[in-house]
Amino acid sequence: MGPGRGMDCVVYRSNDRGGTWEKAGPVFPEAPFRFQGASSNVGYAPDVSVVFDGGRYHMIYDWASEDSTWETMTVPKGGADNGIGYAWSEKPEGPYIRTPIPIYSNASQVLRLGKYRRAYAATLIRRTQDWMVLAMMDSGPSFSWALFGMTSDKPEGPYSEPTALLCVESTRYHPPLLEFFPAFTHEGWIYAPATSVAANRNYQAIFRAPLDQAHHSEAWEIHQAGSVWHSEPVENEYSGIWGQTFSGSVGNDGQFTVMFPSRDPQGMGTINLAKRPWAQPLRGQGFILSGHKGPSLSLLRQAHSSFALEVEMTLHGKATLVWDYQGFLGPDAAAADSVPHPLSLCAFSGLVLSSTGWKLIEVPDPLHTKVIAEGPSGKNPLLKFRLEIDASGNLAFSGENGAGWKGPVTVPAGRIGWLVDKNSHLEVHHFNLSGATCSRPIRYLPLEGVLGAGAANKEWQESPDASFASGAGMISLTPQSKAKWNVSGKAFTLMAPRGPEYGTAEVFLDGTPQGEVAFHANEKSSSGPVLHLEASLPGPHAVLIRVKEGRIPLDCLEVDW
């Protein structure tokens, strides 16, 4: 954004079900447009949503004045403004006639939930008795996003005050750092896909609510989280899904067809199509994991003390089969475009695979990697292998092209998983695992809890201190400081140090009070268990901690199944 720049929606039309496309439009008349009472023209209108009803095409669209900057998008000043507008047309390609008053003006709004004001990326939905707008709001420096809803008797408004429907500030499980847009309807439900805004955006979730109850936050549920989307190793999907999430609809033939954005290796945007049967959300076997702007890590829920594993796979780039994983999970920064923390990428043993060869390694910490054995891959990348570790720590590895090694290693006591490097793509066709499981909790960093509550940058201060389990924790800065881990499991243990400078906190599990934790002690002590919680069933849960008195420390959360 800036002087001489602008954004506009562009319409392309296909007459052969997406085989070929031609540019149509313009979407809006080319003459400059200014809202009634505004001090400058509209210079940006990138995201739109269109509904056909009553013989007209009804559109809502993002807008920003031409003097806007990224700073004024969140905090309007100097006459710069942005928000959501309405327009209509008799043809789907336009031109669309804009109303002189916007549906939503950022400059005229108050903060909601203490942090949200900017509304954008909105979807227009026709319901039985009214119209509904689902709009995303962001919180600026807190790095949290929320889905708000507004209703009206007419598509052009006026609309009700926005109501928060989905956000990390709720006491329910809600994966953090998710951007919504656009939503779609099918068989009486509204579905709202959402994409991660970490460096790799292929993690997707789909929320849904009954169509005529969608203005109530309690009506919404997670329809699918993870295993929603995967990228292909092709040039036009180099960045994975990028920007907002996919735009989809279910046709009369039962096919779920989506349009999705990505970028090529030169950073140029691409628009792409994909489809699957709506009734078959998952593949029959196997899985895909890819890294794009950063590495990706995925772990099994159960830990293993010995195992035998047979794998068949296709690999582009580099990937590591991980076992004995005992690291800390969490982001490297309280911000968008984050990648796994350095402490998430160590404390494991692994088999590194690439087109140049294989390595058996141990990674005790972020600064050290020990190579146990290595060899070339031969003419082709290693596509099939078997790896076994018995209870005494004897490892036997055999692969294609004569690859193999036998010898003693550390007896495993952690999880098995995959770590895929930046700009790499792994498709596993067969993953046949057997062995002895053991109890080993997953540890989540305090920063994961900070982002999970939308509390970045204002409520907590990082504190490098050996008394914390990971060598660094967080200290609360305000009486309202809170953290929430949105995690899957059944048993949850809150770890923290104690000392004379600390106060008291309240703890909640899925919104239900679980008591208080006193961090005060006459003498300082290192991190240890301060509270253990058990859910009735394993699955997605939210563990919330918030200040009750004084300043409190925030350390890791241990989670087990």
The mean pLDDT value for 526-555 works out to 97
Q: What is the pLDDT of residue 179?
A: 92
406 in Cβ contact with 388 (< 8 Å): no
pLDDT tier at 46, thresholds 50, 70, 90: confident
The mean pLDDT value for 152-169 works out to 96
Q: What is the pLDDT of residue 26?
A: 85
> Residue 320's closest CA among 292, 356, 373, 359?
359
pLDDT tier at 17, thresholds 50, 70, 90: confident
Q: What is the pLDDT of residue 382?
A: 62
First to last CA, the chain: 47
* Segment 180-229, tens digit of pLDDT: 999 999 999 999 999 999 999 889 999 999 999 999 999 999 999 988 99
Q: What is the pLDDT of residue 381?
A: 59
**Fold identical between 288-438 and 442-560?**
yes
Residue with tokens 């052969």: 16
Q: Given a cut of 80, is residue 368 above it in pLDDT?
A: yes
CATH topology of domain 109-282: Tachylectin-2; Chain A (2.115.10)
Instruction: For the full predicted model, state whether its pTM sits above 0.85.
Output: yes
CATH topology of domain 288-438: Jelly Rolls (2.60.120)
Q: Given a cut of 80, is residue 544 above it in pLDDT?
A: yes
Q: Given a cut of 70, is residue 546 above it in pLDDT?
A: yes
Q: What is the pLDDT of residue 379?
A: 61
- CATH 2.60.120.260 applies to domain 442-560: yes
Q: What is the pLDDT of residue 136?
A: 95
Q: What is the pLDDT of residue 377?
A: 77
Write down the domain spans for the chain. Answer: 1-100, 109-282, 288-438, 442-560
- More confident position, 356 or 325: 325
Q: What SS3 state is found at 107? A: helix
For residue 351, what is the enclosing H or E element? strand 348-354
Residue with tokens 């090694």: 405
pLDDT tier at 19, thresholds 50, 70, 90: confident
* Segment 427-453, tens digit of pLDDT: 999 999 999 999 999 999 999 999 999
Specify the pairing of strand 7-8 against strand 42-45. parallel
pLDDT tier at 366, thresholds 50, 70, 90: very high
The mean pLDDT value for 7-11 works out to 87
Rounded CA separation 520/531 (Å): 14
498 in Cβ contact with 520 (< 8 Å): yes
Q: How far is CA 275 from the centre of its chain?
A: 22
The mean pLDDT value for 311-339 works out to 94
Percent of the chain with pLDDT over 90: 86
* Segment 71-81, tens digit of pLDDT: 889 888 888 99
pLDDT tier at 141, thresholds 50, 70, 90: confident
* Segment 378-421, tens digit of pLDDT: 666 568 999 999 999 999 999 988 889 999 999 999 999 999 99
